[in-house]
Amino acid sequence: MAGPQVASRTLHPAPPESYTVFTAGCNFKCLGCQNWTISQFPDNRAVIDGFMDPAVLAQESVANIGSKMGRLMAADRIFFSGGEPTIHLPYIETVVREARRIDPGTRVNFDTNGYLTEDSLARVLGFTTSITFDIKAISEETMSALTGARVEPVLRNAGIVAKSAPEKLWEFRIVAIPGMNEDDIEPICRFIASLDKGLPVAFLAFRPNWVLDECPGASRELMNECVEMARAAGLENVSISGVTNIPGNTGEVAAEIEEAYRSSGARLAASHARAKGCKTHPRDCVSCESRDACPLKRYIPKRSC
């Protein structure tokens, strides 16, 4: 492989309506990843589009936004997603520069898990029109169990966006995962409210996928509880979306990881990871001996909902 890899690109109706470019690879290993074929490339040997000359991708993006179909669906920007687009930041900056050479008014959305250096975040804020920002958890235990990464950079960067560029925040996105990050929802709401009660927050209903393929989806009751907690924290701009009440098996906590985590949610998430091949607990993908040959990255889910 030579250069950054584009997984796919397409006109996409999900807000914000856009020409969405999915980049391959990610710096997280989120157990319930909906885009696991993209995020865990190349280990899962998924078929992707491959490297594209940034000038060609820019021209294609601008043309599609201005096409008849693009106008009909009100697409108005290039939307970089993944995976995690930050790992291809110089490439994306080049695409944006080329797109704005063609059309100086080109808008750009950047979809991120928030795990950036402060310098990288400043660069992203410099060229984006809007940002969609995921917050997976707020406790270190839950974050490590679900993603294999640390939570501090994400919370730091959420604060930077809220304080220095609130007008660019399309929304903070929080996936509600039954039994795993439920205890984090209320503290996340309080954290966001402490930054600015008017910031947009979207709760997404977890759908079984990747390592959490056998788990149940979020219930309608849980989604309503998320809204209630957000309102109680003082948040003023809250929404929910996604299919609810997908059946599944919650699973059991593995005795082998009991001592590695204090919270029940982290224990349950880590137990699913262990069952699919994750051997290091607490999860810490940066220092894990299996980092470059992680069994999880090669796992193929039994179902995707």
Model confidence pLDDT, tens digit, residues 180-221: 999 999 999 999 999 999 999 999 999 999 999 999 999 999
Determine whether domain 1-134 maps to CATH 3.40.50.300.
no
- Please report, to the nearest 10 degrees, the dihedral formed by the alpha carbons of residues 157, 187, 281, 30 taken in order: -60
8 Å CB contact between 153 and 121: no
In angstroms, the CA 90 to CA 127 distance is 12
- State CA 71 to chain mean position distance: 27
β-bridge partners, 109: 79, 130
The pair phi, psi for residue 173, each rounded to 5°, is -115, 130
* Stated pTM of the model: 0.95
Mean pLDDT within 15-37: 96
Give the side-chain half-sphere CA count within 13 A for 42. Answer: 7
Place 2 in a pLDDT band, splitting at 50, 70 and 90: low
In angstroms, the CA 126 to CA 36 distance is 29
Question: What fold characterizes domain 135-279?
Answer: TIM Barrel (3.20.20)
In angstroms, the CA 296 to CA 291 distance is 10
8 Å CB contact between 207 and 243: yes
CA-angle at 11, arms to 8 and 13, nearest 5°: 120
pLDDT tens-digit readout, 229-273: 999 999 999 999 999 999 999 999 999 898 999 999 999 999 999
pLDDT value at 1 more than 60: no
Domain ranges of the chain: 1-134, 135-279
pLDDT tens-digit readout, 277-295: 998 999 999 999 888 889 9
Query: How confident is the model at residue 3, as a pLDDT?
Result: 81
Mean pLDDT score of the chain: 96
1-134 and 135-279 have identical folds: yes
Q: Residue holding tokens 């291809």?
A: 88
pLDDT tens-digit readout, 147-157: 999 999 999 99
CA-angle at 6, arms to 290 and 175, nearest 5°: 65
- Tell me whether residue 290 is exposed, middle or buried, using C-beta atoms within 10 angstroms of its C-beta: 0 to 12, 13 to 18, 19 or more: middle
* CA-wise closest residue to 204 among 184, 229, 227, 231: 227
Query: How confident is the model at residue 34, as a pLDDT?
Result: 94
